[in-house]
């Protein structure tokens, strides 16, 4: 009976350890670098893995969590503009050559996510490019309309 109890106990402890070590721990497995840029420019967030190369799904989950944290921090900060965008990516830093980090892709053509400060949502990088084009076209349209109204007011 004693051996049976010890076997069950060790099995449970071993199983618990496996599940606990399955998640990455910040500052042990990875660290985050956040760089503010000039007003009007997107900030940059790098999640740098040190000891292991994560699976793309895990890396995607972690970068989205960090983007949400830093996005909400910049929104709460009075010094930064309300609509600050943050581009987030994941890197693996090889201990043999730390000067050449390797960028980790989440999917075939996707290696970055973006926190949109205006909508407070996380989107894929290609969607961010589409968003910027749409915003640029809206600004051009508004400029043309205001120029037309000004011209009509002069006449």
Q: Over the chain, what HEC string results?
A: CHHHHHHHHHHHHHHHHHHHHCCCCECCCEEEEEECCCCCCCEEEEEEECCCCCCHHHHHHHHHHHHHHHHHHHHHCCCCCCCCCEEEEEEECCCCCCCCCEEECCECCECEEEEECCCCEEEEHHHHHHHHHHHHHHHHHHHHHHHHHHHHHHC
User: What domain range is 78 assigned to?
Assistant: 30-126
| 55 and 49 Cβ atoms separated by less than 8 Å | no
Calculate the alpha carbon distances from 95 to 12, 48, 91, 98, 103 in Å. Answer: 35, 12, 13, 5, 15
Residue at 47 is within a domain: yes
pLDDT the model gives residue 112: 95
Chain position carrying tokens 């699976």: 55
Residue at 49 is within a domain: yes
pLDDT the model gives residue 18: 46
Domain count for the chain: 1
Residue at 3 is within a domain: no
High-pLDDT (> 90) share of the chain, %: 39
Residue at 84 is within a domain: yes
pLDDT the model gives residue 81: 55
Residue 145 — pLDDT band, cuts 50, 70, 90? confident
Average pLDDT over residues 148-152: 83
pLDDT at 25 exceeding the cut of 70: no
pLDDT the model gives residue 127: 94
pLDDT the model gives residue 10: 53
Residue at 88 is within a domain: yes
pLDDT at 109 exceeding the cut of 90: no
pLDDT the model gives residue 21: 46
Residue at 148 is within a domain: no
Residue at 63 is within a domain: yes
Q: Are strands 112-116 and 102-104 parallel, antiparallel or unpaired?
A: unpaired
Per residue in 62-93, pLDDT (tens digit) is 999 999 999 888 766 666 556 689 999 999 99
């Amino acid at each position: 009976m004693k051996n049976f109890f010890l076997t069950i106990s060790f099995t449970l402890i071993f199983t618990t350890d496996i599940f606990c070590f399955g998640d990455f721990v910040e500052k042990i497995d990875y660290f985050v670098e956040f760089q503010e840029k000039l007003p009007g420019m997107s900030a940059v967030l790098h999640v740098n893995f040190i000891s292991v190369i994560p699976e793309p799904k895990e890396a995607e989950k972690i970068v989205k969590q960090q983007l949400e944290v830093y996005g909400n921090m910049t929104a709460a900060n009075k010094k930064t503009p309300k609509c600050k965008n943050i581009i987030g990516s994941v890197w693996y830093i090889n201990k043999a050559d730390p000067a050449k980090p390797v960028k980790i892709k989440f999917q075939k053509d996707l290696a970055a996510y973006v926190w949109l400060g205006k909508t407070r949502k996380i989107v894929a990088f290609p969607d961010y490019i589409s968003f910027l084009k749409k915003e640029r076209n809206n600004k051009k349209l508004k400029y043309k309309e205001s120029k037309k109204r000004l011209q009509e007011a002069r006449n």
